[in-house]
Amino acid sequence: MELSRFAKCIIVLVGSNFASGAVHDWGYHHGIDPEHWKNEFATCGGKQQSPIDIKTDNVKFDPRLRKFNFFDLILHRDVKVKIQNNGHTVQVDMEDHTIKVTGGGLPGTYIVEQFHFHWGSVDTRGSEHEINGKHFAMEMHVVMHSDRFSSVSDAMNRTCGLAVLGFLVDVGRENPYFEKIISHLKEIDHINKTVTLDKFRLASLFPRTDCYYRYYGSLTTPMCYESVIWTIFKEHIYISEKQLNKFRDLGKIPGSEDMINNYRNPQPLNHRVVTTNCIESFSSVCAEGWKTGRKRRRCEDYAKIYLRTILSLSRPIFHRRDDD
């Protein structure tokens, strides 16, 4: 099964040699804007680019996608992190490079390297991924690299070298866990400023992670390498409007305009298939599906796939019992 999962990751990566510092020419509002990245960075014009608009009617149920194992991440409660303003986002680097994530259909073990954010000037626009054409106020990306490589830099242009956990963020109540980061944003109000936290628990930011979407794509910034296993969780994170405005304030400082509306627009799907482990979505489709012929057929197809997969997974178990 692991071999078949890895086979799905096979992506043709276009190599590119670039001079040191060239990637600093890109931006969201300054320098080379997202619509023209592909003119300067050929890999940004590939066929498996991210982000995308996830059309839930076209999502395929895959029961082979199991739950993630975040046990190691949960155990690391007091991790030292560095919060930095890199001119494009607020990035939080993990000082401990041993935090492992497995499961979730990943082809091996992945190491948590950093997480960062994308946000907009209004609550209805800020996320990079869309769900049925709808944007959200913010998106958080947890970037991991395969343990086959020593760092994100080594893995970013290698097949399935990276995996990103994407969390959509909506406006709601104040989030005390996010406040541990937000309270320090005023200290990194200019590019290259950093602040260090001695104790931070990344898992505290996570909502429920039972249900997710899966597809294969790219980094959403240059060099846009198509080496990423994307996971977009269905459950959203909520922070308050006041907390979100602290991120927006970073983009109001002259020369820091890239620190707001710092997102790339959805890219063409190009025949890629988005899958999910979501029994909940499968059930809701079937509950509504009997009303129309098209949705009814889709529900019947889902039911057949689900039953066939369950039988194939259970057959070896029954066989072993017969041998006993």
The C-alpha torsion from 222 through 226 and 228 to 230, rounded to 10°, is 90
Spatial separation of the C-alpha atoms in residues 315 and 309, rounded to whole Å: 10
Residue identified by tokens 């497995």 is 102
Active-site option among 88, 135, 141, 145: 88
Are the C-beta atoms of residues 234 and 225 closer than 8 Å to each other?
Answer: no
Residue identified by tokens 């369950």 is 310
Residue 20 amino acid letter: S
HSE-up of residue 32 (Cα within 13 Å, Cβ side): 15
Q: CA dist 305 to 2, 61, 181, 318, Å?
A: 20, 8, 44, 20
The closest of 6, 183, 19, 201 to 112, measured between CA atoms, is 201
Residue 212 amino acid letter: Y
- The answer to whether 88 is a known catalytic residue is yes
Helices (H) and strands (E) in the chain, counts: 8, 15
- Structure token digits, residue 324: 């006993």
As annotated, the active-site residues are 88
